[in-house]
Amino acid sequence: MSKKISEMMDNLDIKYLESYDEEALYGGNEEREALLDTDKKLNEMPSLDVIKRRALEGIKGTSLESHREAKKEKKSRLKGRKRILLPLVAVFTALGMSVVAVSNSPVLSSLIGDQFAMIHKEAQVVGQSVNHQGIIFTVEEAVIDSSSGFIALSMTKENGEPFEENTLVENIRIQPAKHTSMGYAYEPILSEDKKKLYYLIDISMNKNLYGQEITIVAENIGHFESEEIPLKVDLQEAYHKMQELDYNYYEDMDYEKDQTLNIPLTDKLEGFMLDQMILDHKGTLRLYTSYPDPYEENHLDTRFKLMNSKLDLEVYYQEGTNRWDEDTQRRRIKDVFGSITEEDLKDLKLQLAYENYTPIVRDEWSLTFKLSKNSNVKKARPNRVVESEQGAKIKVKNVEVSSLGVRVDGYQLEGSVGVFDLSLKMKDGQILKLSTSGLSTSANYFFTEHLKLALTEEANQPHTPTSHSDHDPYTESISHIMGLSANDFIDLNEVQSLIIENTEIPLH
């Protein structure tokens, strides 16, 4: 399960939520003051010697190096990979808080690899931990800009023992103190010695995360397994046994315990049973299965495949559903197949593909912290009108470029917001163009050359006009998140300007 970030992000398909937030679009008082004084330096932060030592504990350079150089593994669909969308996040009580500053970041460096050199100035060490039930949860490090970033987490056993393969955290939540729209994705990375379970969270947001309290909550640790196996059940025999039961055809999922076949399906899933098998005169076969689920967690995902061995064909699958039965404390599953006769049953073979998550430790680990502002950026306040080929016009107010991505803020002047041609001009004269990526938000882009950056447009949102402008707000955020690869970070030192359509905006 060990992967470099450049490999693991290839399969991510993050879909953004877009919502209007006046402060996010126009900037709060603090943000506006910062724009007026771009040369103002960040306040000096306290010494981080202690935090550094905590972040470095247990991290072996040899294992991290070999992890960084590991060959690309075949990707599999894992339940551990998650994509989260948050429309509004409420204020949560802080369980502990620290303020961090820029420092060396061995965890991010090991997970990202050589390309980390391009973003090392933005990296921050957090090094804050909490211990529940012998599991130490640590927020290790972070790197963010105004619209996107990464946060590295880890799980470690207090006794120093390794984790089993395919050990996963069931759920991870990010809760900023301020209301925001954000999307994030995460995937596990097990260290080579298996003593650290890392999670790298990839974030996109419409409001700055720095300077505010951020709470990260990890829920439950368990073991994940997935497999596709043949089942040895004799469907013809099961059908005949079903005829001996006093069952009600119309009860569907509400059958009684004494109306079940109780046929075990596999030794790999304890208590997974074939309850009923009903074949009607229209050729519709209904299979009812169940497994114990006392916590209503629904951790077992199943998919049946019915093969006709005589014809070497797969039987048509119609639908499936499941629900929890309070009386038996079991999860009941219904799978429906079509175009089957009683004569076919002797030739039918049942196969099962499943993903099963078994909780090992049920608990919550929660940490609250703050991140420092990313000062390694190039900015501009052009106040210039740009017109697209479709005739849409925006007034570009603010531009910000970091090693992670680009953000453009402005106002719509007339016409609908169209697709604007954006590119970065480098000091050597190279132009890095943008083109449509085909992803599913209103306007997404990536670089067609060695940079792959994504653009998200938030425009035409209903709002009440303010003293800032009587026009609609317009925000375009170009970040690393969509299709991250080895060359997706921006060499900020080589960036000269941003070009929107035919308008070149110098950056400083």
Distance of CA 185 to the CA centre of its chain: 1
Across 373-379, average pLDDT: 92
Across 395-411, average pLDDT: 82
Across 17-46, average pLDDT: 39
Across 200-221, average pLDDT: 88
**pLDDT at residue 468 is higher than 80:** no
The CA distances from residue 219 to 75, 331, 362, 364, in Å, are 25, 22, 7, 5
**pLDDT at residue 19 is higher than 70:** no
Residue 336 and residue 343: Cα distance in Å, rounded?
18
User: Which of 376-385, 434-443, 479-488 is least confident?
Assistant: 434-443
Across 269-281, average pLDDT: 95
pLDDT at 451: 26
Highest mean pLDDT pick, 64-78, 271-285, 452-466: 271-285
Kindly report, residue by residue over 32-73, the tens digit of the pLDDT: 444 444 333 333 333 333 333 333 333 333 333 333 333 334
Amino acid residing at 275: D
Across 20-41, average pLDDT: 41
User: Which of 75-84, 104-113, 355-364, 451-460 is least confident?
Assistant: 451-460
**pLDDT at residue 444 is higher than 90:** no
pLDDT at 465: 38
Residue 189 and residue 197: Cα distance in Å, rounded?
6
Sequence-ordered strand ranges (E) for 246-295? 263-264, 273-279, 285-292
> Alpha-carbon dihedral of residues 363, 88, 177, 51, nearest 10 degrees?
50
User: Which of 295-304, 368-377, 414-423 is least confident?
Assistant: 414-423
Across 364-392, average pLDDT: 91
What percentage of the chain exceeds 70 in pLDDT?
68
Best CA proximity match to 201, nearest among 321, 86, 84: 84
> Alpha-carbon dihedral of residues 112, 115, 117, 119, nearest 10 degrees?
-80
Does 49 or 401 have the greater pLDDT score? 401
**pLDDT at residue 366 is higher than 70:** yes
Average pLDDT of every residue of the chain: 74
Best CA proximity match to 167, nearest among 147, 185, 191, 201: 191
pLDDT at 187: 86
Across 410-423, average pLDDT: 72
Kindly report, residue by residue over 76-112, the tens digit of the pLDDT: 333 445 545 443 332 222 233 444 433 478 999 988 8
305 pLDDT band, cuts 50/70/90, is very high
Residue 125 and residue 48: Cα distance in Å, rounded?
8
pLDDT at 230: 96
User: Which of 81-95, 106-120, 156-170, 472-486 is least confident?
Assistant: 81-95
pLDDT at 271: 95
Phi first, then psi, for residue 253 (nearest 5°) are -80, 0
489 pLDDT band, cuts 50/70/90, is confident
pLDDT at 473: 62
**pLDDT at residue 480 is higher than 70:** no
Here the tokens at position 468 are: 């800032």
pLDDT at 256: 92
What percentage of the chain exceeds 90 in pLDDT?
46
430 pLDDT band, cuts 50/70/90, is confident
Does 90 or 230 have the greater pLDDT score? 230
What is the C-alpha radius of gyration for the chain, rounded to an integer number of angstroms? Answer: 27
pLDDT at 203: 84
Across 112-121, average pLDDT: 85
User: Which of 129-143, 288-302, 360-374, 418-432 is least confident?
Assistant: 418-432
- Contact by Cβ (8 Å): 49, 212: no
Q: CA-based diameter of the chain, in Å? A: 84
Does 277 or 388 have the greater pLDDT score? 277
- Contact by Cβ (8 Å): 471, 464: no
pLDDT at 417: 58
481 pLDDT band, cuts 50/70/90, is very low
434 pLDDT band, cuts 50/70/90, is low
